């Protein structure tokens, strides 16, 4: 009979422990989910074109007008790009000045060598955010920003 008297007590303890464990796991999930969220609530992708034609490969840089970390992205050979800030995808909402660099890939570069800069394939003004004339407003959430460059 002693074992019967302790069983309800044990099952009550087990139930309380289970409820406590479920609560702890739920709280941990909330904490982890909020840690995974960053202040980089905006995502930007799009295409780069020169005179209406896709151009790449290259690099695009979105520099915040109010200061802060710039976001960079690789421009693929089809002109598509997406941005990252440091190692994180995305960037903060706000106003950005944009720089684009697209150069011819040097030939005969050996592995491990630092390649020389290739010939610039777009007007030089686009390589600096301060002279490019490219300025965009990035909103919270997904943004598609196509960058249209002109050679003239």
CB contact set of 96 (below 8 Å; sequence gap of 6+): 62, 63, 64, 65, 71, 135, 136, 137, 138
Helix (H, G, I), strand (E, B) or coil at 94: strand
**pTM here?**
0.69
Give the pair of three-digit tokens for residue 100. Answer: 């684009």
Contact between 44 and 140 under an 8 Å Cβ cutoff? The reply is no
Other C-beta atoms lying within 10 Å of the C-beta of residue 53: 8
pLDDT of 141 reads: 92
Contact between 95 and 65 under an 8 Å Cβ cutoff? The reply is yes
Q: pLDDT tens digits for 51-84?
A: 999 999 999 999 999 988 899 999 999 999 999 8
From 102, 104, 107, select the one nearest 79 (Cα to Cα).
102
Q: pLDDT tens digits for 4-18?
A: 444 444 444 444 444
DSSP codes, 110-146 = PTTS-PPP--B-S-GGGGSTTTS--EEEEPSEEEE--
Q: pLDDT tens digits for 105-135?
A: 777 777 777 777 889 999 999 999 999 999 9
H or E stretch including 17? helix 2-36
Q: Assess whether pLDDT exceeds 60 at residue 29.
A: no
pLDDT of 118 reads: 85
């Amino acid at each position: 009979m002693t074992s019967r008297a302790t069983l309800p007590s044990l099952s009550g303890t087990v139930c309380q422990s289970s409820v406590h464990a479920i609560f702890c796991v739920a709280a941990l999930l909330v904490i982890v989910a909020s840690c995974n969220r960053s202040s980089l609530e905006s995502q930007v992708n799009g295409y780069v074109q020169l005179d209406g034609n896709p151009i790449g490969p290259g690099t695009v840089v979105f520099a915040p007008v109010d200061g802060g970390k710039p976001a960079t992205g690789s421009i693929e050979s089809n002109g598509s790009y997406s941005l990252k800030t440091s190692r994180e995808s995305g960037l903060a909402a706000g106003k950005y000045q944009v720089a684009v660099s697209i150069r011819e890939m040097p030939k005969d570069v050996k592995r491990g060598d630092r390649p020389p800069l290739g010939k610039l394939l777009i007007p030089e003004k686009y390589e600096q955010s301060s002279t490019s004339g490219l300025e965009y407003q990035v909103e919270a959430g997904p943004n598609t920003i196509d960058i249209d460059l002109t050679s003239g």
